[in-house]
Each structure stands twice: as structure tokens, then as C-alpha cells.
Amino acid sequence: MQDATFSCVVFMCHAPIVIPPIGGSRSGQCAATTEAMASAAKAVADAKPDRVILLDPHLNRYPNAYACVGMSGAIRGSFKAFGRSDLELEFPPLEKGFYAHLASSAQDNEFSVELAELDELDHGATVPLWFLVAAGYKGPVVIIGFPWKTPQHTHNEFGRFLKLACERYEGSTAIIASGDMSHRLQYGAPSGFHPNAHIFDKTFREYVEAGELAKASQIPLDLRDLAAEDSSESMAIAAGVLGGKSPSAKVLSYEAPFGVGYLVAILA
């Protein structure tokens, strides 16, 4: 991506099983996703951003405000909830100057960004970040969650605001949009099975392959709800950052071995 502000924008899944130490004997079933996650993370690390913004659909939400994770000291996460308390992540403390700029700029643009004080990151953030650390990135991360009363077009607008805010702050930024596709692709899937859930994944993937990122994020609500997906909101913000389209978008992989769709793509 030839942009002094945004060095790289990627879409990554957040299924813990794609991390080999967690997947164990089942890792082979999602090997293409694991390889793609490593490639996407390498693209981010190789761009040498001054910070990485991660859009996390699992973050505890405010009704109308976007949330930015703050912690006492370093930004931390682990995989103890998945039986691997030995796998831990740590990043520098939240950039107070950047957060203050983001919150102030948001207010000026009729958005709200509130600090979310957490003890530890959830897997919506830790899975992509595990690959980012493995790729050699050691810089600051900014974890942003989304309000639950906000329609998709507002997330697109927030993405446009986010681009403007980053352009007015020193340094370059990379963005990771975190999300999993349908959770209902086979019997035994986390949200049960629905015979039409695959339509969401097919439609979303085709739009991303065509570089139509805004369209990917604006798939009709009834199909998004039917699929029990958590990918379209983070994509909506990424699409806003990129002006709705990206001719250079490239899908690195798509798999659904456990009834959940995993898509990994370089968006710009």
C-alpha cells in the first residue's frame, strides 16, 4: 500500500485453533489458514508501522461508543482460556498521546471513543497478535471495539474518520481487521447448523476478492444474523479507511474445517 499514513491493512481470523501449539493434532485441518495468517502478519511487520490498530469484534462494548483498550502498564494477553497459560503476549503500554488525539478528534467528528480498562485481551485480539509477534513486530498496539447499537454505514464512516485522525498524527499505522465468518456451516458448529449460512461466506469472499470491501461489509442484516458471523463490522471500518474499495485486495486463504469460516486477506 503506497500511503505514508497506512502502511498495511489486513483481514485476519481469530480462531485459537489455527495457532499450532493450541491446535495440536488438529492443526493439519487448518494448515492453509495458519500459513495465511503468518503471511498476513509478515506483511504487517515488514511494513514497519509505528503502531498497529486492531479492530476486535469480541471486545466488551458500549452501546454507542467505540472502545479503546487501556491497561495498567503493558498491553497483555494469554491463551489460558484455551489450556495454554504458557502462551503469553505483551506489548508496550497504550500510547496516551495517540489515544488522547483519537478521543478528541472523535468528539470533534461526532463519534465517541471511550477507554476500556481490561486486565487481559480476548482471543479476538490475541490470535492475530500471536502471529504478529511471531513475525517480529514489537511495537505499540491499539485495540478498538465497536458499539453494539451502531449500523454498518456508521462503522464505514468511523473508518473514514479513523483515516483522517491517523493522517493528523505522526508516524505510520497498520490495521488488522479481526473476524471469523459464519459459525453455522456444519452440524456441531459453535452456533448450530443452518443450510444457508455458507451463502454469507461465499458472498463476503467474492466481494473481498473483487476489492469491493464496503459491499462485503454491507451484506444484508438477515443473512449476517443467520450466519452468526463477527467479521462484517471490522471489515466495515477497514473499508471506510480504504474508501470502500481496494483494487489490490487479495484473499490468501479460506477454510471452514470446524463449521466456522476462516478468511485471511491482505486488503491493501
What is the per-residue pLDDT for 2? 47
Domain assignment present for 167: yes
Task: Measure the CA–CA gap between 84 and 112, rounded to whole angstroms.
Answer: 36
Residue-number span of the structural domain to which 237 is assigned: 6-266
What is the per-residue pLDDT for 264? 99
Across the chain, which has 268 residues, the per-10-residue mean pLDDT values are: 76 98 97 98 97 94 93 96 94 97 96 95 98 98 94 96 96 97 97 98 98 98 97 98 97 98 98
What is the per-residue pLDDT for 148? 87
Angle between helices 152-167 and 232-241 (to 10 degrees): 40
Domain assignment present for 101: yes
- Residue in the block written with cell 495457532: 19
- Domain with residue 13: its CATH number is 3.40.830.10
Alpha-carbon distances of 99 from 3, 70, 225, 238, rounded to whole Å: 22, 9, 32, 19
Q: Could you give the 3-state DSSP secondary structure of residue 157?
A: helix
Domain assignment present for 36: yes
Domain assignment present for 1: no
Give the Cβ contact number of residue 46 at 10 Å.
14
What is the per-residue pLDDT for 234? 98
Q: Angle at CA 39, nearest 5°, toward 145 and 211?
A: 65
25 alpha-carbon distance from chain centroid: 26
**Per-residue cell: 222:** 438477515
Domain assignment present for 230: yes
Q: Could you give the 3-state DSSP secondary structure of residue 127?
A: helix
How many CA atoms, within 13 angstroms, populate the side-chain half-sphere of residue 34?
Answer: 17
Residues 249 and 212: beta-carbon distance below 8 Å: no
Note if the pTM is more than 0.75: yes
Task: Measure the CA–CA gap between 32 and 267, rounded to whole angstroms.
Answer: 18
Alpha-carbon distances of 71 from 45, 96, 112, rounded to whole Å: 23, 11, 19
What is the per-residue pLDDT for 110? 94
What is the per-residue pLDDT for 84? 94
Rg (CA), the chain: 17
What is the per-residue pLDDT for 3? 62
Domain assignment present for 10: yes
- Give the total number of structural domains in the chain: 1
